[in-house]
Structure 1
């Protein structure tokens, strides 16, 4: 078995409850598009963030470790490879229509791993009996298989170990101070409006408010990737023969939601069976 561990910050510019799923700017939830930014689009980006906000985490998910049949392989060509979700994936709960909020499936789910001379892609088909069926017509059991196994759950140790964030209030205070300094340095009206909104949101300090609390929560996903596969390994750098007929188990969590930067952290493991 080839095991790939991966981790990093991702971007997701999405509206939040009670805003509707298609809210473009953010009104009554706790996330917003600010002046000068494009509309919210809900796309989960492991790479190439859109309109990244100043002083936020650096977006980029990478393979952090590789092992083969239980043996670590620190020099494997996939160590450091970019991990991406392809096809403009989104969290699909639709305000509790498809699933409880924050437990929706990621649709589509096309995982890509891009290393030096090696590319691996595999798609999970949400509803194998009819892959083209519309989301709201797919039985709930299939949404549950790919969705989060748990609602948003607080785990300070998990978040601190992965991100270094120990105190969410201190984390937000540091960001607020940087933005206040930026505000003093610009006369641009659009920039000042955007900074003012971000500073206002970062001024929220009640621990129970979602702007603060979501920095310490996570969702957990575990399913077997079942669909079409693409492997490009012209130089045979992988050194193994991948089994594309069997499902590939994947387990990952997504959390440490930074409501100011519209980012979260992902950490997980992909298991690739071999011939």
Structure 2
């Protein structure tokens, strides 16, 4: 699909739950500049992200990951408890090997319940080679933003002396190397060497600057639209105010009727046409867009 935000257009494609944004137009303005490719990987911020748990498999003494209300950004993160002996590890495999050779940053938010725990991130290729990076989390119950350049010298490699092939990544692993502890993680985000941060409309500022919180993972496509956490309601010529308004096929006829369905967090999409109505926009947190 195509998502247009004021002065730039980005082409979006979803491949194995990885969102790929490819350059279409690079121009300053609302949302910032966009150049090159960006891959944004799993972030567990919203309720709809529960399905991502099935992508993460536990091993090495770790219990199956669950969602946690202790969040790095807003609502959720993933929690892993290591109740067994060994490394508390979870991994995520890809159905098709991924080329991350052009990427220079992997950002992970991590938090452990013990001071001084060591957090480890590992990349695997299809030949069985792997490279891993570790970082000590000094304080307990404190979020740390870990930024790893996959081109940098890793903490270690295996099974021999050959580093991982960045053009052939089939699996990523996260672990807390301390037994009997719990850790949280969120915001696995890959950025390319050439891409600047781009806005997807989160911070709403026309300042050509986007923050780490405005460029977050997990953008989904619903029909031909970018999804939010709430419900989409549709209004357009040919609709009927007796419809539920939850799809373009079942759209409402009037803007006031469609808006009346919305609660905070919902989105109202209005199709082409002329609408002459009195509307009280008195519900906070509702987004209204033209279709």
What range describes the TM-score normalised by the shorter chain of this pair?
A: under 0.3
Structure with more strand by fraction: 2
Q: TM-score, normalised by structure 2?
A: 0.24
The structure with more helix, counted as a fraction of residues: 1
1 or 2 for the larger relative contact order (CA 8 Å, sep ≥6)? 1
Structure of greater Rg: 2
